[in-house]
Structure 1
Amino acid sequence: MSATPSTLGVNTPNRLDAQALFATLAGLCGSFVAIGLARFAYTPLIPALIQAHWFTSSQAVTLGAANFAGYLLGALLGRPIAHRLGNRHALRALMAMVTLAFFACAFPLSVSWFFGWRLVSGVAGGAIMVLVATSILPHVPAVRRGFVSGMIFLGLGLGIAASGTVIPWFLHYGLRVTWMGLGAIALLLTAISWLGWPRADAPVASIAPASASGHHGHAQPTAALRVLYGQYAANALGLVPAMVLLVDYVARGLGQGAAHGAHIWVLYGIAAIAGPILCGQVADRIGFRLTWRFALLMQAVGVALLALSSNAMAIVAATLILGAFTPGVVPLALGRIHELIPHDHLEQRAAWSRATTAFALFQALGGYGYSYLFSHTHENYALIFTCGAVALMLAFLVDLFASKRRT
């Protein structure tokens, strides 16, 4: 009887076999649908939702925050769901939930109906973000995990770019067709990924170091990890204004129209495609700690540009910066965790779950807080962007201070 390998690519430790490549494709599809489309496709739709009188401006922003609240729930529920169903069945079910939510949003029966389905898409997105990389990477040869991680999170950028490209075309046929079209894309990618998810959870060989250490994913976080969780949370506060308001700011705030807003979102998406790859290459050269610090500073600069200037070049520069780092900070944060916990795969997964939960919590708080400020300050875009820039600058300063203390 021949032995069946428990790890993808085990026969060629420096190369990815067909199973590993298929799993990587499934991960890319997962981040594409659950984050790239489910979260970011809503941003270029906000002006159209308001102009078509589906919702008021304050309702549209609040409904955008519903996805953030769901993301928090999903980050908390991801590991329990996977424990009950197994990673493969959990990821399949979550992808199906996102797809169903797109089709349901084509029928704005009420604000609560729409809110509920945006919440569902957020729950699925948060759970997928917790599970997608940690379900695939243990099955991949160690020397190829950096490449696979970048390809998985590349789906975020591809989803953002796709939403900016197809939504203006869909909108020519109406909002209902737009939501149905997004659902069709999600259905296609769910079908492509269906058989690609690894059949088993993390193989024994990949978790042996964790078992030997005795941590089993329950070790107390170090001071450096706690700092990282706080910075990742602040990063969420800094990114939410652009996630929700960038297109609306260009379209209505600057009076340039929905078409120009969509073009800005396409630019944001193009930068998002390059972001994870560039961040990974820079981190390979100078380390994740310095790359993470640089990312915080550049994001603060990008959001500050939106707050301080309406100049076209400043907005383009801010769009490129924020587009690149919105998905780029995800592999940076994950890589920083691997630097701080180099040999314990179970604790790496637990730490990534905590970091994602911190991000999701402050993303939700920021979404609702900014929604309140937006509706109670006569749609003051500059104030919202300023709050985001301050949060990112504080995270950067904390990183400098913590590094000096360690030195």
Structure 2
Amino acid sequence: MTVGWQKLLPGFAATLMGIGLARFSFTPVSALMVEKQLLTSQDITTIAAFMMAAYAFGAFSANALAKKFGAVSVVRWCFVIITIGLLSEGIFATFSPVFVGRFVMSLAGAMLMVLGPGMILSSLPPQRQGFAAGFIFTGVGFGILMAGALVAVVAASPILTTATALFIFALAVTVLGWRQWPEQQPVTEGTDGQGGVVFTFGFIGLLVAYALDAVAYIPHTVYLSDFTASELGFGAKTGGIMWAIFGIGGIIGAASAAWLRQKFGGQLSLELAIGTKALFIGLLGFATTLPVVAISAFVVGALVPGFVMLVATRTVDLVGPQNLTAAWGIMTGVFAIGQFVGATGMSIGYLSLTKYQPLFAVGGMFEALGLLALIVFIRFLTPQKKGTPP
């Protein structure tokens, strides 16, 4: 049985918009705003922290809104909100409007990430979900790369030009993701109040690992460019190149993870991914040569969408396709809380240490703890059915 890629395009568009633009476009745009003296570094830190708080709120409220207004309607409104928000950032390029705009875009982005992939994957047979997830989550890397490239191309122009370029791209993505959504079953409430999701040891282990990953990847997704440019002294242009390499990794990450899952199974592929991610995040805590930074950026960039894809498909294994949308809402919300806690903690750490490098080592340690959680909760505490691969 094959799945037409056209049916997967809405999910691809949702991840591209929900994380690639609503979340990760802020990294190059904020650096540009600081350079143009429209915002300060302190402004950026404040906005970023509240973006992650908004992401958590959006993730936890997505299913309730979908139940009330319909999942497809909510998704379409999220596309519109993010598209308009990107343009408004160039028109009202001061702290308060940017703060409000990014807060609202983060709310919408989280809802897209909860509802979009879940709607597509739950409509497919299990044997096709790995391939489909690989394609859908490629949108994350593509969004990262395109946002960075567009900002770099028009960096010398006024900020409104940058915002207009992002707006036009987002408008095209909105058109791409507007149609062909599958019929969505109404969100139901189980006895636990979470759409029938049962909190088994396996699901709890996956939640813990995903939350720890949210903390661990903060240094690469927030500090990588400035770490390269300022702390290592390679300059802003090289810092931008490292972000582009991160995005290139993101494009191939989900498809590579899909191959990994097909070859090694859901559990082992997840353990291999999180172990590799721990190594290459922590590597920058000890090595500072440019080739090492580039390799780390590429591998971690690949494992951002790759790990999300593996977690999403493993969630299906553990809770069943009928509970995926509700379970993915919980997963995304917990991830968002991890991001907020991680960003706040690492910001405090940076103020104390005045160096980024130790934060990468800390990130690697948190990722390693996530690997430990996966092994303990799923391999040792979860009963394995005979004849069923882990």
Judge same fold: TM > 0.5, yes or no.
Answer: yes
Q: In the aligned structure 2, how far is the partner of 1:359 from the partner of 1:247?
A: 23
Tell whether the 8 Å contact from 1:31 to 1:153 is kept in structure 2 after alignment: yes
Which residue of 257, 264, 270 maps to 1:292? 270
Question: Which residues of structure 1 form unaligned runs of 5+?
Answer: 1-13
Question: What's the secondary structure of 1:263's corresponding residue?
Answer: helix
The code of the aligned residue for 1:271 comes to G
Which residue of 307, 314, 335 maps to 2:292? 314
Q: CA deviation at 1:23?
A: 3.4
Tell whether the 8 Å contact from 1:29 to 1:193 is kept in structure 2 after alignment: yes
1:250 aligns with 228
Which residue of 90, 111, 115 maps to 1:106? 90
1:8 aligns with none
**What is the number of equivalent residue pairs in this alignment?**
382
Tell whether the 8 Å contact from 2:216 to 2:362 is kept in structure 1 after alignment: yes
What is the CA RMSD across the aligned residues, in angstroms? 2.5
Tell whether the 8 Å contact from 1:49 to 1:60 is kept in structure 2 after alignment: no
Q: In the aligned structure 1, how far is the partner of 2:80 from the partner of 2:9?
A: 17
Question: What's the secondary structure of 1:309's corresponding residue?
Answer: coil
1:383 aligns with 358
1:105-131 deviations in whole A, cap 9, x for unaligned?
114554232111111111111111100
1:253-308 deviations in whole A, cap 9, x for unaligned?
22222221111111111111111111111111111111111112111111111222
Q: In the aligned structure 2, how far is the partner of 1:380 from the partner of 1:270?
A: 27
Q: Does 1:195 align with 2:206?
A: no
Q: In the aligned structure 1, how far is the partner of 2:104 from the partner of 2:65?
A: 14
Q: In the aligned structure 2, how far is the partner of 1:197 from the partner of 1:55?
A: 39
Tell whether the 8 Å contact from 2:211 to 2:334 is kept in structure 1 after alignment: yes
2:48 aligns with 64
Q: In the aligned structure 2, how far is the partner of 1:379 from the partner of 1:104?
A: 33
Q: In the aligned structure 2, how far is the partner of 1:255 from the partner of 1:15?
A: 50
Q: In the aligned structure 1, how far is the partner of 2:336 from the partner of 2:259?
A: 26
Distance 1:126 1:203, change over 3 A: closer
Following superposition of structure 1 onto structure 2, how do residues 19-34 of structure 1 map, counting pairs within 5 Å? 21-34=5-18
Which residue of 133, 139, 152 maps to 2:123? 139
Tell whether the 8 Å contact from 2:203 to 2:315 is kept in structure 1 after alignment: yes
1:5 aligns with none
Work out the percentage of aligned pairs sharing the same amino acid: 27
Following superposition of structure 1 onto structure 2, how do residues 346-365 of structure 1 map, counting pairs within 5 Å? 346-365=322-341
Which residue of 25, 32, 35 maps to 1:41? 25
Q: Does 1:87 align with 2:74?
A: no
Q: CA deviation at 1:185?
A: 0.8
1:397 aligns with 372
Between structure 1 and structure 2, the one with the greater Rg is: 1
The code of the aligned residue for 2:357 comes to A
TM-score, normalised with respect to structure 2: 0.91
Tell whether the 8 Å contact from 2:280 to 2:296 is kept in structure 1 after alignment: yes
Question: Which residues of structure 2 form unaligned runs of 5+?
Answer: 384-390
2:388 aligns with none
Which residue of 258, 266, 275 maps to 2:253? 275
Q: CA deviation at 1:215?
A: 11
Q: In the aligned structure 2, how far is the partner of 1:307 from the partner of 1:107?
A: 39
